[in-house]
Amino acid sequence: MARKMTLESAIKQAQEADKRVKEAENNMSAAKKKQAECWARVDEIKAEQEQERFNSLAKIAIERFGENVTAEQFREMLDTIMINDEVREYVDSEKARQNSN
């Protein structure tokens, strides 16, 4: 009789372990889904911020040079601005700050 109780106990423990494994798998699946959603939101926010920066630069270019500025002229203006060491340092620090977030 004692041996039968041990077998029944072992079966019960195995079933409980199976149940815990199943719960852990479900939790892992939910966590991975949440992780993917969070990283998608991070990418979305980064894209929005990049678009805002681009729009700000475009607004400045239009205010400064009018609406007739071409893409090539705009690129030349940015290159000219970036020659300035202080501007370059600021841009690099902003990139580093954004990458750390």
How does pLDDT run across 41-86, given as a tens digit for each residue?
999 999 999 898 888 877 877 777 777 777 787 778 777 777 777 7
* Model confidence pLDDT, tens digit, residues 10-47: 899 999 999 999 999 999 999 999 999 999 999 999 99
- Assess whether 32 and 73 both reside in one domain: no
- 30: buried, middle or exposed (CB in 10 Å: 19+, 13-18, 0-12)? exposed
Q: What is the residue type of 58? A: A
The domain of 89 spans 68-100
17 domain residue, yes or no? yes
Q: Is there a domain that residue 2 lies in?
A: no
pLDDT of residue 1: 46
What predicted TM-score, i.e. pTM, was given to this entire model?
A: 0.53
- Split at pLDDT 50, 70, 90, the class of 4 is low
Please tell me the predicted confidence (pLDDT) of residue 23: 96
What integer pLDDT is reported at residue 53 of this predicted model? 85
Say if residue 62 is in the same domain as residue 96: no
**Amino acid 3: pLDDT:** 58
Both 51 and 84 in one domain: the answer is no
pLDDT at residue number 30: 95
| CA–CA separation, 7 and 14 (whole Å) | 10
